[in-house]
Amino acid sequence: MILFPAMDLKDGQIVRLYKGDFSTAHQVTQNLRATVAAFRAAGAAYVHVVDLDGAKDGWRKNMDMVRTVVQSGLRVQLGGGIRTAADLQEVFDAGVYRAVLGSAAVSNPQLVSDALARWGAEHIAVGVDARNGKVCTDGWVEDSGWDYCEFAHRMELLGVSTLIFTDIDTDGTLHGPAFESLARLQQTVRCRIIASGGVSSNEDLRRLSAMGLYGAIIGKAWYTGAVKLAQAIEAEGTQ
């Protein structure tokens, strides 16, 4: 299982949220390069980056930070505000390895199809962000009405091979991932699934790995010290 340490970017800072609520944003570290270096020292090969300003407002204003992370040699998986082909071109020109389509995948599935044809399934992921089983968009503010499994199946039919499932109610809580929701998703699609939200311990990562998931995102648990990243990569990681 690939382990993705995470960075959420807002107003030029690395922050974390609680259950996706922007009013709870708080800075977790001041040194971008030191944080990236710590990920690399632990053995990580990937990093999951979310431009929260982009996710909410539709345009990315933290790309300089993203480029700095790219220059570290980590493979960057970037989401937040990627809503057009021009956006995709910009992030790939910046050296991003994989772009995550969230709101745009809901409102414009043709963009997903076009992106897959142009850049390939390895470099395109779709974010399935759910609250109470329904996919949410626009920085997790709007309820799309889609059941998360139905939406995931729709994306699979388009050719998507990588899904990032976030249970919004567990994100940033350190209460454990939504194991049952993840299991339901596994039963619905054959896509590679990356779990996001709620990871609180190395034991959570062992359980996710035992489920056969492709990857897991580690956010707040790393910044608080609840997860030992190097230990987890050694035990569970396939970087």
Q: How many CB atoms lie within 10 A of CB 107?
A: 12
Tokens of 31: 């040194």
Beta bridge partners of 33: none
**What Å distances lie between residue 4 and 43, 87, 164, 174, 184, CA to CA?**
11, 23, 11, 16, 22
Beta-carbon-side half-sphere exposure of residue 127 (alpha carbons within 13 Å): 33
**What Å distances lie between residue 113 and 91, 162, 214, CA to CA?**
18, 13, 22
Tokens of 50: 């979310």
CB of 44 within 8 A of CB of 192? no
Active-site choice (51, 87, 129, 171): 129
Is residue 129 annotated as a catalytic residue, yes or no? yes
Active-site choice (8, 51, 53, 171): 8
H or E, element range at 48: strand 46-51
DSSP state of 202: H
CB of 82 within 8 A of CB of 101? yes
Measure the CA–CA gap between 4 and 44, rounded to whole angstroms.
Answer: 7
| 3-class DSSP state of 6 | strand
Q: What is the CA radius of gyration of the chain?
A: 16
The pairing of beta strand 75-79 with beta strand 98-101:
parallel
Is residue 169 annotated as a catalytic residue, yes or no? no
Kindly list the catalytic residues. Answer: 8, 129
